[in-house]
Homo-oligomer: A and B are copies of this chain.
């Protein structure tokens, strides 16, 4: 059966459906110009012709060919979204915000993934450019600033999770240092003194800033950070598993762990459970991001909330404005500590 249908259709199923404005015009007994005018509301036409055309459009179920339109108008009503991992809850949360803002305005989204590889990322962005997208939203990419600047000559770019200003480039980001500070200060306020830290991806700006916040909070409390309590993670669950294992095996004493993001915290949490160490009774844990899943952990995870969805929506709306749409600027909520059940007072 599969073979049969496979062989039988050398893909011309739509040939019967090649309905164009000319067909509509012919059926409605008007010129193509008139049809186009009605389609775009670009001039007034008499009521009778209008209804005739609308009827024709309906009976033929005509949809204007976006390619022809894009070719003629130079605008594609399409924007590209660049992510690193189409599956990561962090990225999808932001993407959902972007989608919300843009699809409402009639834009379609090309979603491409750089898979954390700068080379692949650049490649994908080129693909977007070749498809003449009207704009691009990049979610914490790995591209250099100058590359971004060059890209921005073709179409406006908004980048989330980075701080840069250039012609045709806007950016949104939260104060990651402050977030790290917030989490650590909270742990200190709950009586913790020896606080371990599991870092994010090496060299990633966000990871570095959160670490800086951790250090500052320690310092302001008269404590000092100890290298032996800082372990390298990579923003993934399994990275958290590895780091937590090293921490435990080091035999160092600590009463709390601050993980650079929620996924890392989840990995760490699992190792603790495996070893029979209770959270928060034996060790306290705080994460970062407040992913939707954080609230459903056992126990629910205390974490620093980044309004990711709002950030995505903000990006989308900013792009819309750069594209000439009139969208009001959105108030962006800040970082905020969400206290749940993984920290104990000692």
Interface residues of A (CB under 8 A from B): 1, 5-6, 9-11, 13-14, 16-17, 63-68, 70-71, 76, 86-87, 89, 92-93, 95-96, 99, 103, 108-113, 126-127, 129-132, 152-156, 165, 167-168, 237, 266-267, 269-270, 273, 292-293, 295-300, 321-324
Q: How many copies does the complex hold?
A: 2
Judge whether B168 and A13 touch: CB under 8 Å.
Answer: yes
Judge whether B71 and A67 touch: CB under 8 Å.
Answer: yes
Judge whether B108 and A108 touch: CB under 8 Å.
Answer: no
Q: Tell me whether A324 and B67 are in contact in the complex, defined as CB-CB below 8 angstroms, given that A5-B167, A86-B92, A273-B298 are known contacts.
A: no
Q: Tell me whether A66 and B156 are in contact in the complex, defined as CB-CB below 8 angstroms, given that A13-B168, A111-B109, A298-B297 are known contacts.
A: no
A155 to chain B, nearest CB (A): 6
Judge whether A267 and B292 touch: CB under 8 Å.
Answer: no
Judge whether B63 and A129 touch: CB under 8 Å.
Answer: yes
Judge whether A92 and B103 touch: CB under 8 Å.
Answer: no
Q: List 6 A-B contacts (CB under 8 A).
A: A11-B324, A71-B71, A99-B113, A108-B110, A109-B111, A270-B300
Judge whether B130 and A64 touch: CB under 8 Å.
Answer: yes
A293 / chain B contacts, CB cutoff of 8 Å: 237, 266, 293
A113, closest chain B residue (CB): B99
A237 / chain B contacts, CB cutoff of 8 Å: 292-293, 295-296
Judge whether B86 and A96 touch: CB under 8 Å.
Answer: yes
A103 / chain B contacts, CB cutoff of 8 Å: 112-113
Q: Tell me whether A65 and B132 are in contact in the complex, defined as CB-CB below 8 angstroms, given that A108-B127, A266-B293, A270-B300 are known contacts.
A: yes
Judge whether A66 and B131 touch: CB under 8 Å.
Answer: yes
Judge whether B63 and A67 touch: CB under 8 Å.
Answer: no
Judge whether B155 and A14 touch: CB under 8 Å.
Answer: yes
A265, closest chain B residue (CB): B296
Most buried by B among A67, A70, A127, A300: A67
Judge whether A153 and B322 touch: CB under 8 Å.
Answer: no
Q: What CA separation (Å) do A120 and B92 show in the bound complex? A: 20
